Amino acid sequence: MEIDRRAFFAGLGGVAAVAAMADEAKAEALEHHMMLQLNVANQTSPAAKFPTAAEVEAEIETRPTRRGTGNLFVSRAGNVKKLPPLPERPTLVDFYKLRFMATSTHCLQSANRAVQNGMSEEIVLACLLHDTVQDLIKVDHGWWGAQMYEPYVSEKVSFAIRYHQALRFYEDKEHGYEYPDLYRRMFGSDYKPEPYIEATYKMVRNHKWYLEPRMVTVNDLYAFDPNVNPALDQFLDIIGRNFKQPKEGLGFDNSPVAHMWRSIARPDSPL
Ligand SMILES: [Fe+2]
Ligand SMILES: [Fe+2]
């Protein structure tokens, strides 16, 4: 595909802004830009801003990988790279720095926004963790993510992570959530969530903890912002108070989800 470099750089805030971006962020931005162009090229009507759900579905067979695949298992440009080794007893911070490369900036930006909006520590932690499982797997990431974190966080935090996935599709302007354009692009302009998502939404909408996952969606970022790069260090106290780090290390504590952490630690193991 032809890339209009000027348009691409301008969309990211200019050449200097692009130069300051990490390689992974650049690759992500480029993919997003190409996805947009592809969508525009595929549209039947040039006036339409977003593809239809049918057009999105037609793109399945144009890709070498499925859209639900975890980021760690796919390279956006060229071949995959060797991963740095993790310490013997890896902590959440080790995973964050050495494995959550594709999701960390987005999650840090969301957590940073949650702090600025005066959210509770549990919501800030939920924002910090909410999409990290997408490095392992993307499909149904709310459920996968909640399961992976469940042994180590409070019930409210895992509730927020699990259900942010369903709430994203439903507006709640009263609490500051509008349906994002990004989803019109990703799922199609006429996309209808699956019945299980609709049923989950109805359940959560009436739950006493509704605002926990809702606030994850409110503080989620749907636009790429190259100018905000919060550091993990500012969240170390919140992690220390709210994340029960197993002394054996994540992946080695015999918890029911230890294999998920090992899969992130060793994604190159063939079986
Ligand atoms: Fe998410
Ligand atoms: Fe997100």
Interval 15-44: pLDDT, tens: 555 555 555 555 555 554 544 444 344 434
pLDDT at 177 over 70: yes
Whole-prediction pTM:
0.83
Q: Say if residues 129 and 149 touch (Cβ distance below 8 Å).
A: yes
* Residue among 271, 268, 259, 260 at smallest CA distance from 81: 268
Q: Say if residues 256 and 151 touch (Cβ distance below 8 Å).
A: yes
| Cα–ligand 1 centroid distance for 58 (angstroms) | 23
Q: Which ligand is nearest to the Cα of residue 140, counting in written order?
A: 1
Name the more confident of 186 and 268.
268
Alpha-carbon distance 119 to 262, whole Å? Answer: 32
Alpha-carbon distance 249 to 216, whole Å? Answer: 27
| Cα–ligand 1 centroid distance for 220 (angstroms) | 8
Q: Give the count of alpha carbons within 13 A of 176, CB side only.
A: 12
| Cα–ligand 2 centroid distance for 107 (angstroms) | 7
69 phi, psi to nearest 5 deg? -70, 145
Q: Say if residues 125 and 242 touch (Cβ distance below 8 Å).
A: yes
Percent of the residues in the chain that have a pLDDT greater than 70, as a whole number: 82
Q: Which two tokens stand for residue 243?
A: 């994340």
| Cα–ligand 2 centroid distance for 2 (angstroms) | 29
| Cα–ligand 2 centroid distance for 45 (angstroms) | 30
Amino acid at 167: L
Q: Which ligand is nearest to the Cα of residue 213, counting in written order?
A: 1
Amino acid at 2: E
